[in-house]
Structure 1
Amino acid sequence: MFNVEKAPAFLRDDLTHVWTRWHERAMDDQQQALAQWLDQDNTHPDQLLTAWGGSDFIAQSAMDRPDVFIQLLSSGELTQTFSLQTFSDLLAEMLANCENDKDLDRQLRLYRRRMMMRIVWRDFNRLADWNETTNDMSYLAEVVVQQTIDFHYQQLSQSWGTPMGKASGEQQQLLVLGMGKLGGFELNVSSDIDLIFAYPESGTTQGGRKEQSNQEFFNRLGQRVIKSIDAHTADGFVFRVDMRLRPYGQSGALVLNFDSLEEYYQTQGREWERYAMIKARVIAGPEEKAVELMNMLRPFTYRRYIDFSAIEALRDMKGLINREVARKGMSADVKLGAGGIREVEFIVQAFQLIRGGRDERLQTREVMTLLPLLESEGLMPEGVSQKLMAAYVFLRNTEHAIQGYQDKQTQALPVDEKDGERLAWVMGFDSWDAFIAQLDLHRNNVNQEFHAVVADSAESEGEEADDLSSWRPLWLDDLCQEDFAEQLSERGFEDADAVAKALCDLKKSRALLTMQAEGRARLDALMPKLLMLLSERDEQANTLSRILVLIEAVARRTAYLLLLVENPNALKQLVRLCGASPWIADQLARHPALLDELLDQRSLYNPPDLSALRDELRQEVLRVGWDDLEGQMETLRYFRMAHALRVAAAEVSGALPLMKVSDYLTWIAEVILEHVQALAWEQMVDRHGKPSHAEGEPEPEFIVVGYGKMGGIELGHGSDLDLVFIHNASSKGYTDGDKQLDNQTFYTRMGQKMIHILNTQTISGQLYEVDMRLRPSGNSGMLVSSLTAFEKYQRSEAWTWEHQALVRARVVAGGERLAKEFQQLRLDILCQQREKAKLVEDVVTMRQKMRDHLGTQGGEEEKASKFHLKQDAGGIVDIEFLVQYAVLSQAAEHPQVAHWTDNIRILGDLHSQGLMSAEQSDALIEAYKTFRSESHRLALQQQKNEVGADKFAEQRQQVQAIWAEWLG
């Protein structure tokens, strides 16, 4: 027996009294056996002290069922970690000889009592952490539900026959959705279980005395299962069963088939049901049907877009809870009170509902898995997840200590002083005050973060609320355009008339007149904030007109308006970026999902480097199967748009210089091409097998060669991709799959699939426009060439302009071995001896054709007044042609100049090799950067690529002078 003197003073009298009273009363043989066991037990005395001192439930259960308690002590189960299978095997052993409902119900309750004594013992003695305790409780519930179903299903089938699907002809089984903490493997030690029953297909039973509908069969089965688990008998109960989360609640059918469930959630599902469905998982039923059911429910729970409307639903739910807590005086409740368990769950589930449709990692159910993920993704400030995790563990341990005392479903802190001391002792504290101090610290941390994430925006506006007070009437009052303009002018708007007209037109627009009340309320909350921010900027009318295009575009998808209302910083970035660039405004209006990128200023103005881009894309596409081509294409398109937006934001804000902008835009294309190639390869191999190769030869490879701006690492906003596809497989080989293709056809179709993925217009637009005209023989040539054919063409048939293009060619995706072979071939071609006079003639002739067709058009006066940055004399293409001529004419003697593919580094090498003066090299580099920077600026302003003739006149003259010196 344990030493009572080791117990805290406030427990000693109670423990002595219980022990003495038990010994004094007439004990049966089992009780005597337990008394003897405890007197002689030297293994468990300290643990027994904690268990009996902290839990009346364990002490009373040991006295009532001493045989079970002795079995626990002697079996070693108290020191073992159980798996789901262990729980299942133990219950199956106890139910093996059950012949009727009465036998089943009794054995279920005995099993529950035995498992509960083990779980609470291990929890109170910290032999198991809180996570194991909640897992054990979830396992316990799961095996009880499944084996109870199995028993009653067999019994019912003997009388009523086997339910069969009308369409499939397959046997039907009952599936059970575990909701709430049961679904999340987070069930506490005295929880009820929230369930939803379903079966796959309608139909009728077969093989019984009387045919009946599957609906009736599963209704009866559900009723029997609930009765066996929930009913109170002389042996107690197993779990309280709550079915109120099912469709239509208590007035709905107890069981629904999949079609009925899907129709309900698609047409009538409410926001709180989305919240409830986050943790749902199938705890009973066949696995393949469980997957089907969860896939069917997922679109209801998780929206494909960023859904800030979830915040409102969570606020409403928390408001109801708060009012209930206040009404019932439950502020001391560690679950529902301020800073309690529910607030931690609300914080996590807010992000799940908002972003879970876009990020499948957030669809996991466990709080402790999600908290560090949210912080690593920048959705929480640094250090917050650790605070919340520590609080959650403390609160869950406290909940178990409260409930394990008497096996009662309560989360309220004890009122009785002795019970409080007992709770503090079980939690490892010397006093109630010390425990409460730690509890308050954790609850304050939780409540603070809860208010930051979920609390009403009106609570968090602070000083902004006062500032907005003068702007709300301006938008909400029914002012005529003249009065509107007058008040705007008084508030500092320079072009007040234009702003007033735009706003009045918006109010009269069809988009607003047809808005639902909820959407209009969101717009009314947004517009005063927007006007206040506009008043602090220049070009207010232009900025507003660009933003109003977005507002009208999302008039029917007002979750995006709510995103801006809920996130003041995102709205600030929207105003800033739309004011700086109509291109950015257009992208946001076309693809409102990109508004999500405005939420985090750190990532918005700091695009990731090549390695980070590659990792991020890998994580994104991991959430989509290789066989889901549509899903892959949409993921790639959003990835490209999001990162292009970040680069543009960084450029217009001055955070990135020109060269870095081009680097990032090129890197985005590179990682996308890498994945597109891998995706096309996987789909082709899955259908046709791999291309073959002769014994002893390496496996064939495929590469993507980027030309032009892609090859030169100089992509701009909206640039297309000049690509060439090359392979090195034997033309005589075939693939090794069931549907064989010759190697050339395999790679040709792979190239076609890649172009399809890149070029196809989807709901998110086109990934990239691809130009394949630089391949051997242009549009009339093979879509994919072998390296041998490519070499033959380049050596014997290529025009000078094709060798010029080769200067800016580099491998951007594909096999390393073939890439090295291509690079060597490129150098060999570029380093050939060439006749200088013929080379000059070809370069100059081609350049003149381009000027005539693509340069400034019109009369001499018009040509003299404009400068096309790219195509006019002294512009970007002149510098590119000059560089290409220098490489082709000098590489035979100076191969170093053919190494790089970008013009800046080539110009640097021309100088370092003594082929160009520092003055010429510097002048061309400076002009090239200046022209391209201006070209980027004009693209973001959605303006033509031309300026006045007097702009950049000096740089232009320098380029023309150097051109004349090199090319005559």
Structure 2
Amino acid sequence: MPVGGRRDSRFGQLLRRGFTDPSAAGALLDTPALRPVAQQPTLLDALGAVADPDQALRALGRLVEAQPESERARLLDTLLAAKPLRDRLLAVLGASEGLADELVRHPATWQALVAFDTSDLHPGTEEFTAALADAHDRDALRVHYHRALLTIAARDLTGSSDLAQTAAELADLATATLRAALRIAEAGAPDDAARCRLAVVGMGKCGGQELNYVSDVDVIFVAEPVEGVPEETALRAATRLAAAMMRICSERTAEGTIWPVDANLRPEGRNGPLVRTLSSHLAYYQRWAKTWEFQALLKARPIAGDVPLGEEYRAAVAPLVWRAAERENFVPDVQRMRRRVERSVPAAQLDRELKLGPGGLRDVEFAVQLLQLVHGRTDPELRRAPTLDALAALADGGYVGRADAAELDRSYRFLRTVEHRIQLHRLRRTHLMPTEESELRRLGRSLGFTVDPVRELTAAWRRHTSGVRRLHEKLFYRPLLDAVARLEAGQVRLGEGAAKERLEALGYTDPAAALRHLTALASGVSRKAAIQRTLLPVLLDRFADSADPDAGLLGFRKVSDALGTTPWYLRLLRDEGAAAENLARVLSAGRLAPDLLLRAPEAVALLGDPAGLRPRGRAALTQETRAAVGRAGGPEAAATAARGVRRRELFRTAAADIIGAYAPEDSPDATTDQGAALDLVGSALTDINAATLVGALEAARAARGGEPLTRLAVIAMGRFGGRELSYGSDADVVLVHEPLPGADESAAADQARAWANEMIRLLQLPSVDPPLPVDTDLRPEGRNGPLVRSLASYAAYYRRWSLVWESQALLRAEPVAGDEEVGRRFVELIDPLRYPAEGLPERSVLEIRKLKARMEAERLPRGADPTTHTKLGRGGLSDIEWTVQLLQLRHGAELPALRTTGTRPALAAAAAAGLLTEEDAAVLDEAWVLASRVRNAVMLVRGRPLDSFPTDTRETAAVARYLGYEPGTAGMMLDDYRRVTRRARGVVERVFYEG
């Protein structure tokens, strides 16, 4: 074969093996030093498997040429014969130019890679100390250090050790190096060594046994005089030794450098003395230390010098570390520090920062350390220095969800491994992702990405940083965290005596019962109990912020008993801080919402999702209710299904109402416009009841069977028709039907009546779900008239017998269920009655006024206070609604804007038309909104409707809290109510009664 053909064949072979410059590689293989390699496919295959085959081949050529003539063949023969050595050496050469330079500078060093076998020997501090024992000066220490570093990198790059093992080995090598450096320093100053005891305490990643390949080694020095030596003399001696030790490691010699020793984490930083006594350290930490200094001390570990003194130091500072979270503004301080670190990164580098940027290593480390400091006060299992060990402990203890912890663990390992590979390349301290494609390719291949290394690496990097950032914000800014940190450790695990006193101080009236609930919830060693111990201190304060803390805690125990074995429940409360806050508010706000929740505790899931508390809308509710009814196996089961949907939606509405009422004004849950919040509740309750009627009517029709003879429509009346229901409102309806063509009218009427009666029966069956009372008394002739009439019958009645009060009642008529066409035609039928073309005759006006006056005199309950009765009292709902409805009857024909079933829209339209002054309209609107909110508050608190303020002081206080009053100001609430309604009554006197 021609020479050119052989070259072309080798070119293709090299290209397939991953060489990016096959021509240059071929030229190298033709050199005398590497010609034997070209003849060995095994070696070429091994080169093609490394991170950068071109770099590895160049380095191998340099290494072979650096060998004495007699050793070259031995190196190549050993590479060919010994696969472990081949894999290790070529992996290092292909990933690290820095270590390749060290190998070339000391050609015999490659033999260190033969000294261990595939049994995965993982040396520790003692093995590294022995390896450095012959280093008696700075240059020798560097040579021995780099030889040991080579072995660590070889194990790492060939997969013999994982990230955690590699980082621990690097920390152990640093420890051995510091010991050797201190030994050299002491040998150079024996008098100083005799005057003091000097302990070197490892900090940061060295202390945490998770060091990088190239990193500063953070230390703190502690010294004590030996017996008979003055303290000042001993400290000067210790300072000279410490400074010498730092120089031995940090200074550059003919053999390069090792790494800087950084003592800036000491008290007062670089402005403070390099060495202090133990008592001086403690005095500083007790009086002057900042939050970040306690965070740094999490990883403090004696590593060199006088180890017993170092252990004394660690034991003395540990209690201060685990009390740091009780400092004022501790959590916000740590959060601000993380933001400050991020802001320190130049904008041009932020997206490339593996360590300090968003989604970087610091995000994981800060989140883990913050959780350790907050919860480690009472859980010693969390007091672990390595980040991954601490993360695992947080997951085991229930402080972090297992899935979240697993994702953080994977991402942290990935990012640290990327950081290691980048630093290994030239043995430089850097945390920036490279931008050159060749460097990204080498990096990607070193991590096992072989198809499209650059694209695969970039995608994995972005995926991991995005996940880290999301989880960092979830954990690091968890709303409960600051509240837990503010509690004293004794409050997290309450002793019985202190607990009762604490509970009494918080306002619990039965501390013994409360303590029983706490014991039942939080005792034991299970994950569930651990999470409860995290949650309870915060929830206790939240309950105490309500009018009835005992009820809140009891409700929480009932919900927890019902859902305690459900894996998502406590995870939701722990991981989604809003869920726990919201649950506390809901459980302590009264009886209605907790009663609804306890009938179906799984609805607590709604509290963790901001979208979960938004009203779902009539169309969605109707569709779900119809589907549930369709799946049911009989009319009773169908009614149960429809009422189950209603119960859940009532809870959703009540929970959203409570949370919005109690939320701070700057909270996203807060609704600053109380009228708008009330409208949302009224609209949601209307949609819920309408969907329930649809389901019940369909169940009733299915139960009766047979061919349909008629079409039935349900017309909402009163507050139901006005979309302004309260929690305690009945569903006021009238029922209208239209016989199908050809059907017998009598039979059609019987069928419509049977459907209506069955619908009402199904809605009132005994059930765990709240009933939906259906009131049909607003139909023609009231209780004495037929339950259902045809359209023709309604037309005949209204033509001959209709009274003015019936026209007034029809102002709020609105179809809500059944046949839409029949409902539309009914509206067309009644429009002339409720919006009379000629306006309202004066005699009708007088009749309405007489009816209103008689109602005030006769229907107000005996003994009721007319100044606080929300419905019939002075300036209450009836006053305002009758005033608005009179304006609608008189002017609805000429003013289309008045043709609305809602009180507030009609009031606004009347003001816009000049029928009311803006001031009068505002007064009436304020009173109507306030009275309606009071009715809702009373129902939420008592679980039963009441048209006045409750007499029980706790219930009154709870109503006041819902309305936004501070504790102890219920009297102010009543004064405000009387003031607002008194002003509204004045407007009613002028407008409705005309003076």
TM-score normalised according to structure 1 size: 0.47
Of structures 1 and 2, the larger Rg is shown by 2
